Amino acid sequence: MKKTFLLASLLSIGAMATNPLIKQANDAGLKPLPKSEAEMLKLVDNSKNHITKAKVELGKKLYFDPRLSKSGLISCNTCHNLALGGVDGVEVAIGHKWTANPHHLNSPTVYNSVFNQKQFWDGRSPDLEDQAQGPIQATPEMAAPKALVVGRINSIPQYVSEFQATYGKDVKIDFKTIADTIAIFERILVTPSRYDAFLSGDENKLSKEEQEGLKLFIDKGCIACHTGVALGGGMQLFDANKKYKYRDVGDFKGDKNGMVKVPTLRNIEETAPYFHNGKIWSLKEAVQEMGTTQLSMKISDSDANKIVTFLKSLTGKKPNVQYPILPASTEKTAKPDVK
């Protein structure tokens, strides 16, 4: 037995890990990100539109291109800023003409959003390809009609030739293709952390305090919603107990069945303010609020602090992103309209 222990410890083999918390976490439904790039790619791929390097590069350009908005000033990255945990850091999303989201909704992170089972707070979109079409067109966000976006891209010869190099000479650069390409870039935005190494069997990767937090996280039932590879991403009944402190801020009440998307907890340290309406700025307060609202329990200061310590171990390594140089507009490109 001692021999096996040493071997497992030396080789970091998950299956042999003796730390019971690793087994408990895996049994509870928590899943690490794959270690190998090939496995990771398989996990995040789109079977109808496979990931390629060319699509990722082109999708990155589109993701950062503010000319996809009516004003020419707002890109996907404005609200889902890759420098800031994939969010904008403000309570409510601010879009075209400085319009706040009319439902008082907070921008969710783009990092690891590929693992969401549904997209948007009310889960109305099945995947990133579909989701990417929304904010571009939404009047309080990028406010660009499909024809404007398609016209702008097609007016820029370098974009046209990049689409052709990516999808073939006969590609029709329509709105769907543009959104699909953005989604391919978003699919690769995953962020492995020490937590994944721990879950895969490397028991030294989380400190004693972080492990205590993880155990509390499981034991208290947080994993009922914050589960799987994303620690979230599914749908859950919104505020069934009608206890949420800021329930009356904004008119969001979930989908038609009262269900709301459970946010991923990866990089949660970086994505304040919290909840659909961005009303809570402190991670500890957010943990305690979830205790009251969803678990009908008071989480003590001491336990909340430990859970927060664990949650911070979910801050992951971001993919390297070279800031793109975008192809210049031409005289045929529809002018920005800030009105």
Task: Specify the residue, 65 or 180, whose C-beta has the smaller distance to a second copy.
Answer: 65
Q: Is 37 a catalytic residue?
A: no
DSSP class per residue in 186-232: HHT-----HHHHHHTT-TTSS-HHHHHHHHHHHHTTGGGTS-BTTT-
Q: Is 83 in the site for a second copy (CB under 8 A)?
A: yes
Residue 90, phi-psi category: left (phi > 0), alpha (psi -120 to 50), beta (remainder): beta
Kindly report the CA angle at 209 between 234 and 304, in degrees rounded to 5?
55
Interface pick for a second copy out of 44, 51, 62, 78 (rule CB under 8 A): 78
Q: Is 318 in the site for a second copy (CB under 8 A)?
A: yes
Q: Is 90 in the site for a second copy (CB under 8 A)?
A: yes
**Selected catalytic residue, list 141, 203, 210, 270:** 141
Task: Specify the residue, 5 or 323, whose C-beta has the smaller distance to a second copy.
Answer: 323
Interface pick for a second copy out of 270, 274, 309, 310 (rule CB under 8 A): 270
Q: Is 328 in the site for a second copy (CB under 8 A)?
A: yes
* Residue 320 beta carbon to a second copy: minimum distance, rounded to whole angstroms: 6
Site for a second copy in 189-228 (CB under 8 A): none
Distances in whole angstroms, Cα of residue 57 to Cα of each of 170, 182, 185: 20, 9, 7
Q: Is 322 in the site for a second copy (CB under 8 A)?
A: yes
Question: Who's near 257: CB < 8 A, 6+ residues apart?
Answer: none
Q: Is 141 in the site for a second copy (CB under 8 A)?
A: no
CA 157, 163, 169, 171 dihedral sign is negative
Q: Is 165 in the site for a second copy (CB under 8 A)?
A: no
Q: Is 332 in the site for a second copy (CB under 8 A)?
A: no
Q: Is 305 in the site for a second copy (CB under 8 A)?
A: no
> Three-state SS string across 21-74, please?
HHHHHHHCCECCCCCCHHHHHHHHCCCCCCCCHHHHHHHHHHHHCHHHCCCCCC
Query: Comparing C-alpha atoms, which of 223, 227, 185 is closest to residue 324?
Result: 185
Neighbours of 305 (CB within 10 A): 17
Which among 86-94, 163-171, 243-251, 295-303 is the span making contact with a second copy, rule CB under 8 A?
A: 86-94
Distance between CA 134 and CA 332 in Å, rounded? 26
* Residue 196 beta carbon to a second copy: minimum distance, rounded to whole angstroms: 18
Q: Is 158 in the site for a second copy (CB under 8 A)?
A: no
Q: Is 72 in the site for a second copy (CB under 8 A)?
A: yes
* Residue 55 beta carbon to a second copy: minimum distance, rounded to whole angstroms: 19
Task: Specify the residue, 62 or 218, whose C-beta has the smaller distance to a second copy.
Answer: 62
Query: Comparing C-alpha atoms, which of 226, 233, 276 is closest to residue 254?
Result: 276
Interface pick for a second copy out of 2, 10, 98, 248 (rule CB under 8 A): 98
Question: Who's near 216: CB < 8 A, 6+ residues apart?
Answer: 303, 306, 307, 310
Active site residues: 141
Footprint on this chain of a second copy (rule: CB under 8 A): 64-67, 71-73, 78, 81-85, 88-91, 94, 97-98, 100, 269-270, 272, 281-282, 315, 318, 320-326, 328-329, 331, 335-336, 338
